[in-house]
Amino acid sequence: KKIADDLGAELSLVIIGNNISGIADEAASYGANKVYKIESPLVEKFMADLWVGALEKLCAQVNPKVLLMSHTNIGMEVAPRLAFRLKTRLTTDCTDLEADKAENLLLCTKPVYGGNAVAIFKYKEEPHFATVRKKIMAPAEKVSNKSEIINVAPDMDASAVKIESLKIVQEDAVSLDKAEIIISGGRGIGGSEGFKELEEMAELMRKSSGSVVEIGGSRPAVDLGWLPSSRQVGLTGEKVSPDLYVAIGISGATQHLVGMMRSKKIVAINKDKKASIFNIANYGIVGDYKEIIPAFNKKWRELS
């Protein structure tokens, strides 16, 4: 909202899906000028071709100055294709956005060089298009005046659907980006058996604290088949910012740090006292996790 005000533009939201009247009505409570509702049974499940086509047509109608999407799997499937269609540039995985009032442009900040530096991008092509990293901005507050909800004719062609959904597999675990505490294991865990100790630790913390506690891992742990890819934290995995991040047997390669460096508190456990992870940890324990975690779990059970 502040960026829209600084650029002298209206703020609009776009909701796509089927049976989304309730969602659109809820979205209208957060201070936007307009909420565009694109509703069709064809997009009850995500279909990139249909989303891109619908958004391209809407952009042609409203001519937005700035276009923002969340940096998610869906966002990164839609945004590059939509940017190509709109003949504009795209800045991905932004961690900060600001308006340049003097030039009336959007400034996009994002990590570069594997997270070792940040760069600020600006360009004159419109719409200024960016995907924004999850959970980096404070949630908007509800307002008393509701936005105008505009129903947009979907104009979707069923023949454009080239993907048939055979089965949707639901994971029991909560998505990592929703976790308040993440316990991550790396190559130093030594195998899938080692993650059982971490899961016991997570379960003890869940029961005693009531927090959402999830298991994550580094890319080597995923590549070695110890964890599913949905649990990977890092440059090519999830980028998280939990209240507490516990890194166990993780050396601290830049690829991993990019994904968790925004955690509010970081605890590192590693046998190697020179491991890079200690450089960003708030608390560090040098030692073998096979001794530390069982002792931790035992003490936690005694205190619970």
Question: Is the separation of the CB atoms in 70 and 85 below 8 Å?
Answer: no
Report how far residue 242's alpha carbon sits from residue 11's, in angstroms, rounded to the nearest whole number. Answer: 29
Indicate if 141 and 248 belong to the same structural domain. no
Kindly state the average pLDDT of the residues 136-162: 83
**Burial annotation 5-22 (CB, 10 A radius, 16+ → b, else e):** eebeeebbbbbbbeebee
pLDDT of residue 127: 94
Domain that holds residue 86: 2-160
Indicate if 151 and 295 belong to the same structural domain. no
Provide the 3-class DSSP secondary structure of residue 110.
strand
Q: How confident is the model at residue 244 (pLDDT cuts 50, 70, 90)?
A: very high
Domain end among 160, 195, 212: 160
Kindly state the average pLDDT of the residues 56-74: 94
Structure tokens belonging to residue 59: 């952009």
pLDDT of residue 44: 87
The amino acid occupying position 9 is A
- Which CATH number does the domain housing residue 294 bear? 3.40.50.1220
- Which CATH number does the domain housing residue 96 bear? 3.40.50.620
Domain end among 108, 125, 160: 160
pLDDT of residue 118: 84
pTM comes to: 0.70
Would 140 be classed as within a structural domain?
yes
pLDDT of residue 173: 67
Kindly state the average pLDDT of the residues 77-103: 94
Provide the 3-class DSSP secondary structure of residue 254.
helix
pLDDT of residue 172: 65
Domain end among 113, 132, 160: 160
Q: Which residues are registered as beta bridge partners of 130?
A: 68, 91
Kindly state the average pLDDT of the residues 161-185: 79
Structure tokens belonging to residue 206: 């869940």
Kindly state the average pLDDT of the residues 236-241: 87
Indicate if 197 and 61 belong to the same structural domain. no
Could you tell me whether strands 283-286 and 265-270 are parallel, antiparallel, or unpaired per DSSP bridges? parallel
Q: How confident is the model at residue 302 (pLDDT cuts 50, 70, 90)?
A: confident
Question: Is the separation of the CB atoms in 41 and 161 below 8 Å?
Answer: no
Provide the mean pLDDT of the chain: 90
Chain centroid to CA 228: 17
Kindly state the average pLDDT of the residues 179-208: 93
Kindly state the average pLDDT of the residues 29-36: 93
Indicate if 113 and 221 belong to the same structural domain. no
Integer CA distances (angstroms), 260 to 74, 89, 182, 245, 288, in order: 21, 27, 10, 8, 22
Indicate if 152 and 80 belong to the same structural domain. yes
Indicate if 9 and 135 belong to the same structural domain. yes
Would 103 be classed as within a structural domain?
yes
Percent of the chain with pLDDT over 70: 96
pLDDT tens, residue by residue, 217-228: 999 999 999 999
Would 17 be classed as within a structural domain?
yes
Q: How many other CB atoms are found less than 10 A from the CB of residue 137?
A: 11
pLDDT tens, residue by residue, 47-60: 899 999 999 999 99
Report how far residue 93's alpha carbon sits from residue 152's, in angstroms, rounded to the nearest whole number. Answer: 28
Structure tokens belonging to residue 127: 């719409």
255 has pLDDT over 90: no
Indicate if 55 and 111 belong to the same structural domain. yes
Q: How confident is the model at residue 171 (pLDDT cuts 50, 70, 90)?
A: low
Cα-trace Rg, the chain: 22
Give the chain's length: 304
What one-character DSSP code corresponds to residue 47?
-
Number of domains in the chain: 2
Report how far residue 236's alpha carbon sits from residue 273's, in angstroms, rounded to the nearest whole number. Answer: 26
pLDDT of residue 167: 73
Percent of the chain with pLDDT over 90: 69
What one-character DSSP code corresponds to residue 29?
T
Indicate if 125 and 84 belong to the same structural domain. yes
Question: Is the separation of the CB atoms in 234 and 255 below 8 Å?
Answer: yes
Would 169 be classed as within a structural domain?
no
Would 166 be classed as within a structural domain?
no
Report how far residue 219's alpha carbon sits from residue 232's, in angstroms, rounded to the nearest whole number. Answer: 6
pLDDT of residue 279: 94
